[in-house]
């Protein structure tokens, strides 16, 4: 397990992902984003270590595009976990200046909630319950 160096923020950002399995971009929503990575909500089950390309837009002006590596896959470990699982991505080629810009944009967003509360809040907000 790697140490997390950034505060993850609770945002609903669409993120396009291209993997080796498909040349077409697939759009996921990330509710957990930091300058070093994201957690994408999805029923897809990529393999940990799989290389992908992620593209997203935070401020409506600048598009970010990074190579990424799937670091974990969540299938819902507890009985109280509801809604879709997802997978964590670490941005492998984000430059320091790009991370600073992302950090500045994310400061306006609240920090992520603990997972049990986040799952319940998100499932209610998304209408899954």
pLDDT of residue 69: 96
- The set of residues, in sequence order, having a beta carbon less than 8 Å from that of 106 and lying 6+ positions away, is 9, 11, 33, 34, 35, 58
Could you read off the pLDDT tens digit of each residue along the chain, which spans 129 residues?
555 566 777 778 899 999 988 888 999 888 788 899 999 988 778 899 999 999 999 877 789 999 999 998 887 655 565 556 889 999 999 999 999 998 888 887 766 655 544 445 544 544 444
pLDDT of residue 48: 92
Handedness of CA 79, 80, 82, 87 (dihedral sign): negative
- The set of residues, in sequence order, having a beta carbon less than 8 Å from that of 123 and lying 6+ positions away, is 82, 83, 129
pLDDT of residue 59: 75
Structural domains of the chain, with CATH:
13-95+109-126 (2.40.10.220)
- In this prediction the pTM is 0.74
C-alpha to C-alpha distance for 129 and 107, rounded to whole angstroms: 30
pLDDT of residue 2: 54
pLDDT of residue 114: 56
């Amino acid at each position: 397990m790697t140490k997390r160096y950034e505060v993850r923020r609770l945002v609903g950002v669409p993120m396009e992902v291209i993997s080796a399995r498909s040349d077409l971009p697939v759009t996921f929503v990330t509710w957990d984003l930091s300058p070093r990575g994201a957690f994408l909500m999805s029923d897809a089950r990529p393999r940990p270590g799989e290389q992908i390309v992620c593209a997203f837009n935070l401020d409506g002006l600048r598009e970010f595009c990074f190579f990424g590596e799937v670091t974990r896959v969540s299938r819902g470990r507890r009985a109280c976990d509801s809604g879709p699982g997802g997978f964590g991505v670490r941005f492998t080629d984000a430059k320091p200046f790009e991370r600073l810009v992302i950090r500045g944009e994310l400061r306006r967003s609240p920090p992520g909630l603990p997972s049990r509360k986040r799952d319940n809040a998100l499932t209610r907000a998304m209408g899954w319950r």
